[in-house]
Structure 1
């Protein structure tokens, strides 16, 4: 390749850029070509952040879908940063770096690659679901997971043979962050890819010594992260650390997708209950992989009921995975929660040995576990979690007022403000929700007449403190927030309703607030 021209050659020396024809059907984004199979593949391009702006696209004319698919494949090869996926609803989702990048991708699709008219949806923003609290009082939370705790949710399978009890607690923020950042490593460790996981951890943590086992390093981080943010005294901290280390030996699974920031603990109780039912205890598979406990050598009792209980373990884990993948608020993944699921399996009665009328029994257990986990979250004051951008703004002193006005309208939280040394410019650091960032740069330029500039980087997940189901009830609340139509709009509720409306879920909205009120439009002459 020489500029915009092409020159056919038989061979090329090192240091030149070449174009090879005929490889399109075999390469999706990047590949390594070699004359020998023993050649190590070259690493693909790595970026510090992943695409955050996602939209769903479809052709204006449904008959142009094949042309759009071909154009998306060409765009995926041409742009190393863009990501194209298919959602569970069958939508083609295009992920870009920002608004300018997205505009460029849509223009390339329309004019060069697909050459068809395209309908673009509003930006798709990801959320998470959790419960109220910060997880700082870990000792109190650990007691809530015990078998004797009264705050649990109970569900029963349609045939009545299995009773599900679910306890839920909030994980400390430091532990949730560690699990969220170590998803790839945890997936490799749990999946058994030991050597590959070691390379990943060494690349992520270059400061580790050569003789440090990466699994042991992650193990110690999990122990410390559980108690580092606790607010107990020194004596209670040691007790809390011992209880937490004991609980880490019972990790049954992680979710969603078996490597997320939610934990399923195996129940710790008697195998055979007083009423003759069997407790499905499960096996601490994740704890064994991480080295918290050794492989269990328990001899199983020789009974048909116990053998049936063993077959239900995978159904319980599947129900947990389904629940953590779609929470009760708006079907978004759960974040930073720990569950203990107790499943009591009873003997078949003579009437229940008839042909099953409620479907396969394992499917009944899976559905009951999913519903119980979602109900437990709803019972413990659920909250919505939104992604946050770290925003750095530079502006002159005369534009500080308009800049703060724009930040206030975007629900931004200002961290600090300082003057740059040797100049009159101010630097402001703030957190801006991702859902409020669309059109932020343009509004900032208009509000400050081009006197302020912003740089945004994806930072972290942050829980929104507002209760999405808040309704003023007491006299003080009614006096402060109003009653009926005078209540100020709830931000959390608006976000949840927007996501539910986009996904086609039921939205509880009143069309008529007060049917008995009458509005008279008097026309005065």
Structure 2
């Protein structure tokens, strides 16, 4: 659906000193080409067009499978966010061009434009964002006008792009710790219909499978098959059988998957149609499926706690009441109602905040292991594995460190070990932040670190203040009634 046609210009082969122009390129050859700059994005692929009708179906199927695998590689979860804007507003087009170029070079980079026009970049770590910001400035500087560049000889001249960059912010996820104690009912704006939802947590193994896109065909109406020769129904039957066999789902639940969110292909949240069959409500739910799915995706992108994406939440629609008129079944009525109902079900299921965690690799001398362990302990980190490197006097230490407390860890480790330690940080997993984010009994004082039991509450309030949201979360705002 997202394919587009474009004409390429000249082909070039890169050499040590020169570029050699080519007439054609064969499989496995690395080339440079001109054209299609505006259409390319991270994880995109190219295929010769047109192709013969005899090979059209098979080639498109293989191309779609390859494109989906490339999108999985570029779908790395982001952990940090930095907002930026040009110091001179007239240079905003230069910033946008530089961000588009960097998005092609860094597959894990996400460029977001907020509703207020603010540009933000999302990445996997502190070093990653530093490299992106350096390349943004360098790319804009290289594309500066030749006449302007000739008049200025320093990087801080009018030809360079001066940016105003915010402090890095850690991105969170919202999840649930238990099953909803009651179903959440949300009525439409004209009170001509209502939807009921419940939520519960997903198994960690199933979340990982959802994020890898192994069950994306269950929530899609059309897709490219897994092996290229399987039909849609055969692929769905295989996925449903795996859900029953490996994860203990019943037949009805495996057949009732409507969507994954917030990403339709590898989202970690799932929406089920749990309306009882054999009634007219099942047919009404099927007719309103697209609108309800859109409301669920909206709710999965912006959770009820602090507008952060959901992770590991299974939402079931248990009941639907709609009038016979067409206005009650319109998207303008059902999409907001579905979003409010999903949020209400999450608030009734012990909502929690999740934080990203780095897997830290440190190579150092054995006598410095205790020093690094003490640094990790002060930052809520811990050593998971320690192994001597054969043939060297060094030790390889593996540790887990929350991203929230990882700023400056590499510098501190080098200072504590007098430059011996070599540190690498990789985004590994997500974990629930200690404490209840909705517990208002904790007293948080400014300029003082929050106690471990109130850390989730502290992160919630600071995130809502940064986004301009109120500090009070009212369940009545998201659900009209909580039915026991």
Q: TM-score scaled by structure 2?
A: 0.70
Q: Which residue of 1 aligns with 2:457?
A: 493
Q: Describe the SS at the equivalent of 1:411.
A: coil
Cα deviation, 1:170-200, whole Å, max 9, x if unaligned, reads: 22222222112226x61597242234x4359
How do residues 112-127 of structure 1 correspond to structure 2 at under 5 angstroms?
112-114=139-141, 115-127=160-172
1:163 lines up with 2:139 in the alignment: no
1:186 lines up with 2:149 in the alignment: no
C-alpha separation in 1, matches of 2:218 and 2:286: 26
How do residues 12-23 of structure 1 correspond to structure 2 at under 5 angstroms?
none
> How far apart are residue 337 of structure 1 and its match?
1.8
Cα deviation, 1:237-294, whole Å, max 9, x if unaligned, reads: xxxx6xx33432332333334442222222343766xxxxx6x335xxxxxxxxxxxx
1:464 to 1:21, Cα distance in 2 relative to 1, 3 A: closer
Any gaps of 5 or more consecutive residues in structure 1? 134-140, 145-149, 202-212, 228-240, 273-277, 283-305, 473-481, 510-525
> How far apart are residue 130 of structure 1 and its match?
0.9
> How far apart are residue 65 of structure 1 and its match?
0.7
1:442 to 1:34, Cα distance in 2 relative to 1, 3 A: same
1:430 lines up with 2:395 in the alignment: no
Cα deviation, 1:3-22, whole Å, max 9, x if unaligned, reads: 45568x78799999887667
> How far apart are residue 50 of structure 1 and its match?
4.1
1:181 to 1:66, Cα distance in 2 relative to 1, 3 A: same
1:120 to 1:361, Cα distance in 2 relative to 1, 3 A: same
Q: Which residue of 1 aligns with 2:242?
A: 221
Deviation larger for 110-119 or 84-93: 84-93
1:263 to 1:451, Cα distance in 2 relative to 1, 3 A: same
C-alpha separation in 2, matches of 1:13 and 1:156: 59
C-alpha separation in 2, matches of 1:160 and 1:431: 50
Q: Describe the SS at the equivalent of 1:194.
A: coil
1:320 lines up with 2:296 in the alignment: yes
> How far apart are residue 483 of structure 1 and its match?
6.8
1:408 to 1:343, Cα distance in 2 relative to 1, 3 A: same
> How far apart are residue 36 of structure 1 and its match?
8.5
Tell me if the contact between 1:162 and 1:345 (Cα under 8 Å) persists in the aligned partners. Answer: yes
> How far apart are residue 120 of structure 1 and its match?
2.1
Alignment root-mean-square deviation, CA: 4.3
Q: Describe the SS at the equivalent of 2:380.
A: coil
Q: Which residue of 2 aligns with 1:363?
A: 332
> How far apart are residue 327 of structure 1 and its match?
0.9
How do residues 258-407 of structure 1 correspond to structure 2 at under 5 angstroms?
258-259=264-265, 260-269=267-276, 280-281=281-282, 311-345=287-321, 362-407=331-376
Q: Describe the SS at the equivalent of 2:259.
A: strand
C-alpha separation in 2, matches of 1:50 and 1:371: 28
Any gaps of 5 or more consecutive residues in structure 2? 1-13, 142-159, 474-484
Cα deviation, 1:51-81, whole Å, max 9, x if unaligned, reads: 845433221111111122233344455x354
Q: Describe the SS at the equivalent of 2:182.
A: coil
Tell me if the contact between 1:64 and 1:116 (Cα under 8 Å) persists in the aligned partners. Answer: yes
> How far apart are residue 162 of structure 1 and its match?
2.1
Q: Which residue of 2 aligns with 1:469?
A: 438
C-alpha separation in 1, matches of 2:48 and 2:86: 39
Write 1 or 2 for the structure with the bigger share of strand.
Answer: 2
> How far apart are residue 331 of structure 1 and its match?
1.0
How do residues 59-70 of structure 1 correspond to structure 2 at under 5 angstroms?
59-70=86-97
Tell me if the contact between 1:386 and 1:463 (Cα under 8 Å) persists in the aligned partners. Answer: yes
C-alpha separation in 2, matches of 1:96 and 1:344: 40
C-alpha separation in 1, matches of 2:194 and 2:410: 54
> How far apart are residue 166 of structure 1 and its match?
2.0
- Number of paired residues? 417
Tell me if the contact between 1:51 and 1:95 (Cα under 8 Å) persists in the aligned partners. Answer: no
1:84 to 1:364, Cα distance in 2 relative to 1, 3 A: closer
Deviation larger for 389-398 or 97-106: 97-106
1:459 lines up with 2:428 in the alignment: yes
C-alpha separation in 1, matches of 2:22 and 2:414: 53
Q: TM-score scaled by structure 1?
A: 0.65
Q: Describe the SS at the equivalent of 1:466.
A: coil
1:255 lines up with 2:300 in the alignment: no
Q: Decide which of 91, 99, 114 is 1:72's aligned counterpart.
A: 99
